[in-house]
Amino acid sequence: MLYFLQHYWWMVVSLLGALLVFLMFVQGGQTLLFLTTRNEDEKSILVNTFGHKWELTFTTLVTFGGALFASFPLYYSTSFGGAYWLWITILFLFVIQAVSYEYRGKAGNLLGARTYEMFLFLNGMAGTILLGVAVGTFFTGGEFIMNKNSITEILNPTISYWANSAHGLDAVTIPFNLGMGIVVFLAARTLGTLYVIMQVDSPELVSRCRKQVKITAPAFVAGFLLLLAALFTMTGYSVEPATGIVSPVKFKYFLNMTTLVWPLIILIAGLILVLTGIVKSFTGKSKFSFYATGAGVFLAVWSLLICAAFNNTAFFVSKVDPRMSLTLYNSSSSEFTLKVMAYASLLLPFVAGYIIYVWRALTKSRINQDDLNKPDAHKY
């Protein structure tokens, strides 16, 4: 039963991670502020287009972290507690996003609208890249030391701690992690541009976004394929469930895909949807390019995160000593905790239904300047 619950909760956590990457189209859209807009009205249209959705990204990020804390607390304490400079930087970039949406449109705001727009741009670029870097550590690991026996020490009852002073910022220097961050940024920017094309009623702004997507989308596809090539040729670490012995395996993540098969099917389906959505956006014949591409990104990311831990894979490798690496078996909560949480997770379809209802209510009509000029309009 415990074996099933550990894998079930990794699937849930992976699903939330994939959903987070999809919802970061808000961040990607924010990077269009200084490249596609030509006046203050267009800036207001762009900010308000994404202002109706930014809470979903922030809430999903918090939920993702909460799910990791509850289901795999040792990973949470090791990564969030040890690599704290990386996570604090990410959190700061999301906090300034929330502040910017709240105060940008307020009369007499302290810093001025342009400062908050720069904050939104910074959140859209650096926030997506650093979050991608953090996701990359599921495959590349980190420099930490883990010893469960230390919990009995009175003076220093710390199970795991970081082995260098960079505390997570060193992850940015690893090419694979940085590549993951760039791909996440390009995915977010592509989706953000497609969302503007679908949702904004401003011919000039939409025309410029169509030009932008013809640059960003091919770069995203090329970057993702290169990332897949790097991942599938990477050496991963396999764990023996009975003994806990961790050993290196060449092409581990490619073997995970081909052994399990169903994540590979999900990945291929995701790639097909991404390509379909992008091609349709180039021809201008489909207003649903955003949803097709977004669904493809979601499926592709979900499949990769599943393969980070399934098939007896160490999902957070210790570079100090691989024997200390974290797996589904040594980092999860107790069977009782996971079981209680599993019952609570049965409510997720109702939550998803509510989100879909709110989403449809907020996107039933395209946004334009006339909407923002209405007396009862809420402007960001």
Mean pLDDT of the chain: 87
Q: In terms of residue numbers, what domain contains 319?
A: 2-368
In a domain, 243, yes or no: yes
In a domain, 379, yes or no: no
Give residue 76's pLDDT: 85
In a domain, 378, yes or no: no
Give residue 12's pLDDT: 92
In a domain, 111, yes or no: yes
Structurally, the chain folds into a number of domains equal to: 1
> For the segment 229-283, what is each residue's pLDDT rounded down to a tens digit?
999 999 999 998 878 788 999 999 999 999 999 999 999 999 999 999 999 888 8
Kindly report the pTM of this predicted structure: 0.92
In a domain, 338, yes or no: yes
> For the segment 105-154, what is each residue's pLDDT rounded down to a tens digit?
777 777 777 888 899 999 999 999 999 999 999 999 888 887 766 666 66
> For the segment 72-118, what is each residue's pLDDT rounded down to a tens digit?
988 888 888 888 899 999 999 999 998 888 888 777 777 777 888 89
In a domain, 380, yes or no: no
* pLDDT higher than 90, residue 61: no
In a domain, 16, yes or no: yes
CATH of the domain at 41: 1.20.1630.10
In a domain, 64, yes or no: yes
Give residue 287's pLDDT: 74
- Reading the block at residue 38, the tokens are 């030509």
> For the segment 162-212, what is each residue's pLDDT rounded down to a tens digit?
888 888 889 999 999 999 999 999 999 999 999 999 888 888 888 888 999
